[in-house]
Structure 1
Amino acid sequence: MTERITGHTELIGLIATPIRHSLSPTMHNEAFAKLGLDYVYLAFEVDNQELPDVIQGFRALKLRGFNVSMPNKTAVCQYLDQLSPAAQLVGAVNTVVNDDGVLTGHITDGTGYMRALSEQQIDIIGKKITLCGAGGAATAICVQAALDGVKEISIFNRKDNFFANAEATVKKIRDNTNCVVNLYDMDDSKRLRQEMDDSVLFANATGMGMKPYVGQTLLPDDSFLRPDLIVTDVVYNPLKTRLLEIAEKKGCRTMNGLGMMLWQGARAFEIWTGKEMPIEYVKNILF
């Protein structure tokens, strides 16, 4: 690293909390080094309260760009100059690029998730899925799945501050796609069971399962799972959440968040550098 950093090295960041578990710095720095690009990628512990000052500081420091993760994906939009069409539809951002002082927000989570499914030969097009969550990642997944041709999505979330966001997501999907989408209260266990019984895939798109919720799951018990149900989790640290452990014991096919993290990162890498990430090289390091 010391051999690579020069007076011309540009900084790319990641802002979230918690963040020290992230594999993104390893992924991007290894990719920069492999391609001989003069960038360095660092993680910063940032919550909503610090967000305005951080964005202002990033502008002043002329960062090339940065990633945004929980809980800042929705809140960051108001501090940017413009949003990509996908980010406007989702209402959240996970990638920002700085072009001569103009900060543009993009969302690559949805494409990353769908690409990860494809890599695992999991086909949900024309089928029904059930998903828990209403934050930036959940919204991006729902919107992209609908755009790609998923037939029906049942979204579950607790009636917290994110529930209104989920209601807005439902309206966007109904207005812009042919996907049938419905929103339910996560506390309605009877409805959750019914929707999961009719779905080919169940996705946890919340932070449940990662710190500080390691060992916890949103499902009331394992009876909600059946062997032919595909179970995915956006969490990748730990690699196997409590949800995935339970699902494996029930005979379900499972997928953690590593693939989504890789492919959303590859798209962000391309946005910042104009070059394709060396995917196979990065896979060998991360996996």
Structure 2
Amino acid sequence: MGKLYGLIGHPIAHSMSPMMHNGEFKELGLSHHYQAFDLSPEQLEDGVEAMKMLDIQGFNVTIPHKVAIIPLLDEVEQEALDIGAVNTVYKQDGKYIGTNTDGKGYLLSLLTLLQENDLENKKVLVIGAGGAARAVAVSIARAGVLSLSLANRTLEKAENLSSVCNSYTSANAITLQEAEAELHHFDVVINTTSIGMSPHLDRMPLSVERLNEGTVVSDLIYNPLETKWLKLSKQKGAVTDNGISMFVEQGALAFEKWTGITPDRQRMRNAVLKELGGYSC
């Protein structure tokens, strides 16, 4: 008999995670099932107890529960505590343990874009200071970079995040105006905000006027598949990537945590792209 896995969040109907995970279970000949559970904030505590009663072996956590779930778990890994959010829960020795595969997933996707994976020699700029920024920035800082700059509309939030990252690397907070002026100094530029997401297709997080050729420019958005910001960056000679890589990698890491099996990442990516209308078998 197969095992049950899941996803909790609110709203949840738009999620592609069930399609991605159930598709991979089927391809691997596993009788497991991944189910989405729509839980309002008021239902979260009872929902976690219900997950235990159903003997769910692991589950993903999405908005708005990534922070609120922390005190409801038996243990939380240090990186997730640094990020301040949990997106994956796995069962070990009867305990529900929280981790965060968002940052690790992003890091793996970023390394594929860098020549010789030389992250330690890179000057990185992260735009934003919300939940996604925390996952990306903390994981990059823990992996080791030459320097990490955090730019946000509210400088105080960037300063708070930089104080966490400073435990692992040289990090500082700058304004968006400073980021634009100094854009040519960075080797990697990452947008973690929703600026440019459909339907606001004409908006951009920063001007790319001072962007150097060969810079890696990454946008966590994947609707549209190529934002205006990525398109203009590519025209400037940048190496670009959208948010699908991170989505697939974080899902694959959760899959491995739950099952001990390494899924076919390209197959998972193709499934997501097909669902988004960017790929056909």
Structure 1 residue 252: Cα displacement = 2.3
Q: 115-124 or 227-236, which moves further after superposition?
A: 115-124
Q: Tell me the distance in 2 between the aligned counterparts of 1:15 and 1:173.
A: 28
Q: Does 1:275 align with 2:275?
A: no
Which of 9, 26, 32 pairs up with 1:33?
26
CA distance in 1, matches of 2:213, 2:39: 40
Deviation at 1:106, TM superposition (A): 0.7
Residue-by-residue CA offset, 1:91-124 (whole Å, 9 max, x unaligned): 2111111346522101112221121122234543
**Secondary structure at the counterpart of residue 121 of structure 2:** coil
Distance in 1, Cα, partners of 2:221 & 2:38:
18
Which residue number corresponds to residue 5 of structure 1?
A: none
Show the counterpart of 1:244: 230
Tell me the alpha carbon deviations over residues 156-186 of structure 1, each in whole angstroms, 9 at most, x when there is no partner: 22339xx55x5443223222x2x211123xx
Secondary structure of 1:223's counterpart equals: coil
Alignment correspondent of 1:196: 183
TM-superposed deviation, 1:220: 4.9
d(CA) in 1 for partners of 2:9 and 2:105? 19
The size of the alignment, in residue pairs, is: 271
- Superposition pairs of residues 252-271 of structure 1, within 5 angstroms: 252-271=238-257
Residues of 2 paired with 1:80 and 1:108: CA distance?
16
1:208 maps to what in 2?
A: 195
- Structure 1 residue 33, shift from structure 2 partner: 1.2
Does the C-alpha gap of structure 1 residues 216 and 48 become closer, same or farther in structure 2, counting only changes over 3 Å?
A: farther
| Identity in percent | 36
**Partner residue of 1:132 out of 88, 113, 127:** 127
CA gap 1:41/1:197 in 2 versus in 1, 3 angstroms: same
Is the contact made by 1:77 and 1:93 (CA closer than 8 Å) also made in structure 2?
yes
Q: Name structure 1 gaps, 5 residues minimum.
A: 1-7
1:170 aligns with 2:157: no
The alignment's TM-score, normalised by the length of structure 2, stands at 0.83
- Tell me by how many angstroms 1:207 deviates: 3.3
Contact 2:113-2:239 within 8 A present in 1 as well = no
Are the aligned partners of 1:86 and 1:107 in contact in 2 as well (CA < 8 Å)?
Answer: yes
CA contact (8 A) 1:15 1:69 kept: yes
Q: Give the SS at the match of 2:26.
A: helix
Contact kept, 8 Å, 2:6 with 2:60, in 1: the verdict is: yes
The CA distance in 1 between the partners of 2:127 and 2:187, in whole Å, is 14
Distance 2:153 2:16 in 1: 29
Q: Distance in 2 between matches of 1:17 and 1:247?
A: 34
User: How large is the Cα RMSD of the aligned pairs?
Assistant: 2.7
Of 73-82 and 125-134, the range deviating more from structure 2: 73-82
Gaps of 5+ in 2: 274-281
Give the corresponding residue for 2:8: 15
Query: What SS does structure 1 have at the residue aligned with 2:120?
Result: coil
Q: TM-score, normalised by structure 1?
A: 0.81
Are 2:140 and 1:145 aligned? yes
Q: Is the 8 A contact 1:208 1:216 kept in 2?
A: no
* C-alpha distance in 1 between matches for 2:52 and 2:127: 35
| Amino acid paired to 1:285 | A
Aligned AA (1:157)? N
Identify which range, 265-274 or 22-31, moves more after superposition. 22-31
